[in-house]
Amino acid sequence: MRSEIQTARDLLPEVRLSDEIAKSGLEIVKQLRIDSLRAEITMFESARAYAAADGRMEVLPEDLRVVAPLALRSRRSSFMVEFFTGQQDEEKEITAVIDRH
């Protein structure tokens, strides 16, 4: 087990994520309305690690299907939606006050 982990670690820097896979992942994040750059980074790095653990040099679409739920679940929360909605409301209020002066 230890040698398998080390092999995957050694392989990880060489694992490629094609533009096609990246576009697919970005579309997933967009459709889920996740507003976080970390969501993409987490998903893509998880997919690369998953491929490395499988001894592969390139991320496959199936890798995204496996890791996306784990990587994106914590990034998609009602708290974040409420936070950004509140932030927009606050921005409107601040702008209105500034515009009056």
pLDDT in tens, 45-81: 999 999 999 999 999 999 999 999 988 887 766 666 6
Please check whether residue 100 lies inside any domain of the structure. no
Query: Is 55 inside a domain boundary?
Result: yes
Q: Which domain holds residue 32?
A: 2-75
Query: The CATH number of the domain where 66 resides is what?
Result: 1.10.8.80
Q: Is residue 97 part of a domain?
A: no
pTM, full prediction: 0.72
Q: What b/e sequence results for 36-65 when a residue is b if at least 16 CB atoms lie within 10 Å of its CB, and e otherwise?
A: eeebbebbbebbbbbbbbeeeeebeeebbe
Residue 16: strand, helix, or coil: strand
20 lies in a domain? Answer: yes
Lookup result for tokens 């993409």: 40
**Is there a domain that residue 7 lies in?**
yes
At residue 14 the predicted structure's pLDDT band, cuts being 50, 70 and 90, is: very high
What average pLDDT does the segment 1-25 reach? 90
Reference 25, options 94, 72, 57, 95; nearest CA is: 72
How far apart (Å, rounded) are the C-alpha atoms in residues 7 and 88? 47
Which amino acid makes up residue 25? Answer: G
43 — pLDDT class (breaks 50, 70, 90): very high
Structurally, the chain folds into a number of domains equal to 1
Q: Is residue 16 part of a domain?
A: yes
